[in-house]
Amino acid sequence: MSTSSAESHTALPTSRGALAVEVTSLTTGYRDQVAIADVSLALEPGTFLGLLGPNGSGKSTLLKALVGLLPAWEGSIRLLGMPPQEARSRVGYMPQAEDLDWTFPATVQEVVAMGLYQRSFGFRRFRRGSDERARAALERLSVADLATRQIGELSGGQQRRVLLARALVKEPDLLLLDEPTAGLDAPSERGLLDLLRELANQGKTILASTHDITCVNERCDYALCLNRSVIAFGPPVEVITEETLDRTFDGHVLVLGRSGQQLAVAPHVQHDHARTRD
C-alpha cells in the first residue's frame, strides 16, 4: 500500500514556469498576535504538499492567508503567478469540517454548488447548470447518491467528501485543504488521500494540512513541518526525521522504526490534552 517516496519524486515536473504557490517570508496573525512568522515555500504545479504541525502551530492560519482571508503583515503570497484575490477562480479551498454548521437546512447538492460561486452581475446571476456540475463533482468522489440528502444526515467521512467536492467543483488548479482527513477511519482516510494523489498526478497542486505523518510520508511529494515558523520543508524522506518531528511537535511524537519506513504516532495527544483541560 505504500508508494515509495522516491518514486513519487520522479513524477515531479521539473520545468520552472509559473510556480503554483510562492510564499516569501510571510508573517501574519490575528489582531496583534503573530500566528506564523517568516514562512517561505514554493511549489511547482502538480505537486502534493503535506502540511504537518501540532494544533495551534499555524497550519490553518497559513491556509487562510493563502486563500486571502488574512492579509500578509510581511512578505508576499503568489498563487499561480497571481495575488491570492485574483487567483480565486482557480483555487479550491476546504475549511475544517468542524468549523461548519452541519444542522444548517441545506442539501448536499446545494452545498457543493456553492463552490461554483463567482461574482457576476446582470442576468448571468441566474445561469443554470450548477446542479449538473455539482453532481459530477459528487460522482468523482463516489458519493453521487448523497446529492439530495440533508447535510445534517452525513457521517464524518461523507462530510469531508462533500466539502472536497465543493472545493473541486469548479475544477481548480490549486487545492488548499484544511485537515481533509481529520476524524476519518483508516480506510476512508486512505481512500481520500489516494484520490488527492491521483489529482496531483493529473496536474493539480495540492496543499493539505494533516496530523498523519505516515500518510504524508507515503503520498506527498513534499512535507512542510510548521510550528509558528517553518521547521523543515522538502521531500518527506529528508524532512520526516525524528529530530524535525521532535521540534515540530514539541517532543510529543513517538517514532516507531527508523530505517526507510517510518511510523510516527501521536499528534492526537494534543487533542486529548485539550479535552482534559475542558
Residues that bind another protein (CB under 8 A): 64, 67-69, 85, 88, 93, 95, 99-107, 110-111, 114-115, 117-119, 125, 150, 152-153, 166
Nearest CB to another protein, comparing residues 40 and 150: 150
CB of 163 to another protein, least distance (A): 9
Nearest CB to another protein, comparing residues 152 and 251: 152
Q: What is the DSSP string of 196-264?
A: HHHHHHTT-EEEEEES-HHHHHHH-SEEEEEESEEEEEE-HHHH--HHHHHHHTTT--EEE--SSS-EE
Nearest CB to another protein, comparing residues 16 and 31: 31
Distance of CA 68 to the CA centre of its chain: 15
CB neighbourhood size of 125 (10 A): 9
C-alpha cell at 36: 506564523
CB of 91 to another protein, least distance (A): 8
Which regions of the chain does DSSP assign to beta strands (E)? 21-30, 33-43, 48-52, 74-79, 91-94, 174-177, 205-210, 222-227, 229-234, 254-256, 263-265
C-alpha cell at 25: 517570508
DSSP-based three-state secondary structure for 58? coil
Nearest CB to another protein, comparing residues 20 and 215: 20
CB of 167 to another protein, least distance (A): 9
Which residues neighbour 193 within 8 Å (Cβ) at sequence distance 6 or greater?
181, 215, 218, 219
CB of 68 to another protein, least distance (A): 7
Q: Which residues of 35-53 are buried (b: 16+ CB within 10 A; e: fewer)?
A: bbbebebebbbbbbbbbbb
Nearest CB to another protein, comparing residues 110 and 194: 110
CB of 232 to another protein, least distance (A): 28
CA distance 236 to 225: 10
CB of 221 to another protein, least distance (A): 24
CA distance 230 to 224: 7
CB 234 within 8 A of CB 41: no
CB of 11 to another protein, least distance (A): 29
Helix, strand, coil % over all residues of the chain, rounded to 5:
40, 25, 35
Nearest CB to another protein, comparing residues 153 and 171: 153
CB of 145 to another protein, least distance (A): 18
Nearest CB to another protein, comparing residues 126 and 187: 126
Nearest CB to another protein, comparing residues 73 and 102: 102
